Amino acid sequence: MISAHALGARRLHHLADMLRASLLAVIALTGCTTTNDDVVGPYTGTTHRFVVDRFDLPPNHMRGLEIGNDLDGDGSVDNVLGGILSSLIGQGNATPHADDMIAAGSLASLIELHADDLGNDEAVSVTYYGTAGDPATPVGGRIVDGVFRSNRTATTLVPGTAILRLPIFTDADPTEIEIVGMELDITPDAVGGYTAIVRGGLRRSDAYLATRRGLVQLLEARPQDHRTLWMLVDRDLDGTVTVEELDRPDSLVRSLLTPDIAIPVDGVDTEVISVGFAVHLVPCAAGKCLPATPIDRCFDRVVDGDESGIDCGGSCGDCPAAGMCRTGADCQSGACDGGLCRAPTCSDGIQNGFESDVDCGGICSGCASFGTCGFSSDCASGSCSVETTTCY
């Protein structure tokens, strides 16, 4: 005979089994999991500091897939950064001067790795800084046989974040933008350094603002070199690029900055743009531990050499409106007022700004017949000969 006590215990076990089965059913339906392989500390040991001496941004879609990963758990590799950069590179709008910026210190990213043992350690934290002092959230992980692998974006409950500073636009400062849902893989290179792969997502609104900042600097620095890009992004041709223009349904920028995955951000599933890139690291206990001389000072994003402003004036390119100057020769407008470049006008007798000819085309009035043009809108007649690049 079963005692009342035993019968009660059996009923409790049966009820617990039913509740467990119900919970598993809910988990199966919602795609959630009650287990997680996250490394969350406590972290002990020494902080090892490494500086970035080289960036490897994917120049095309295929390279993007090689260094990408499945960030949302759907079984496919995510990384659209290669496609974005491919478009910029094809039009000559991507910078080839990352090494110059690193040497000058205008691009000074670093990683701090907190571990007991760089050979094998079950609880390691890594923090990525776009530059020293930036806010950042460490990501946990493990070191196995010298290789660090962080918690995965697709499954982690404690994702990393960082402010990235990336060499993307030519004639512009490094692009500053927050990465969320960050994961990191760090592998020794056998010569004392490491290769790190950084992956995660960019919020759409952040991407638009960062893109606008880069485009504005690029276009202001050398407007004559980027008239085609200007026509694509300044849709009302008023000389000012706005986020609203970048977000038009027919905008190239909008097609490139469309979120492709959804990952948890602050506990909420958020649509983001997937990114992945590689950097090379060298140990550096303090400072930057890198050569201090840029190869080309005219593209290192600091004022040096005989420049009057950042990468302009002196023997470098002319400075834009409000750029620092010593003489009119430092300025696109040919005029320096009180140490600042005067803005180009449509009556200054110089082909500058977005003009296709002297004081006409671009944001100025249309050029007369036989005036130089690049687009039909440059001409008073609305007709530009492609063969001769003249108005008719």
Burial 159-194 (b: 16+ CB within 10 A, else e): bbbbbbbbbbbbbbbbbbbbbbbbbbbbebeeeeeb
Average pLDDT over residues 318-333: 96
Average pLDDT over residues 109-123: 97
pLDDT for 196 beyond 80 = yes
* Six-digit token string for 357: 């000819």
pLDDT for 80 beyond 60 = yes
With cut-offs at 50, 70 and 90, classify the pLDDT of residue 4: very low
Please state which of the ranges 15-24, 68-77, 208-217, 307-316 shows the lowest mean pLDDT. 15-24
Confirm if 98 and 280 have CB atoms less than 8 A apart. no
Dump pLDDT digits (tens) for 238-248: 999 999 999 99
pLDDT for 48 beyond 60 = yes
**What pLDDT shows up at residue 32?**
36
With cut-offs at 50, 70 and 90, classify the pLDDT of residue 288: confident
Dump pLDDT digits (tens) for 93-115: 999 999 999 999 999 999 999 99
Dump pLDDT digits (tens) for 183-195: 999 999 989 999 9
CA triple 102-327-331, angle to 5 deg: 60
Please state which of the ranges 144-148, 216-220, 263-267, 373-377 shows the lowest mean pLDDT. 263-267
Tell which phi-psi region holds residue 357, choosing left (phi > 0), alpha (psi between -120 and 50) or beta.
Answer: beta
The per-residue pLDDT of the chain, averaged, comes to 91
Dump pLDDT digits (tens) for 205-215: 999 999 999 99
DSSP 103-117: HHTSS--EEEEEES-
DSSP 214-257: HHHHHHHH-GGGGHHHHHHH-TT-SS---HHHHTSTT-HHHHHT
**What pLDDT shows up at residue 118?**
96
Torsion of CA 105, 109, 112, 113, to 10 degrees: -130
With cut-offs at 50, 70 and 90, classify the pLDDT of residue 292: confident
**What pLDDT shows up at residue 224?**
94
* Six-digit token string for 388: 């001769």
pLDDT for 52 beyond 60 = yes
**What pLDDT shows up at residue 291?**
76
* Six-digit token string for 40: 């969350």
Dump pLDDT digits (tens) for 347-391: 999 999 999 999 999 999 999 999 999 999 999 999 999 999 999
**What pLDDT shows up at residue 30?**
36
- Report d(CA 288, CA 64) in Å as an integer: 28
Please state which of the ranges 7-11, 176-180, 343-347, 364-368 shows the lowest mean pLDDT. 7-11
Average pLDDT over residues 200-224: 97
pLDDT for 2 beyond 70 = no
**What pLDDT shows up at residue 10?**
42
The reported pTM is 0.86
Residues 6 or more apart in contact with residue 232 via CB below 8 angstroms: 252
pLDDT for 11 beyond 70 = no
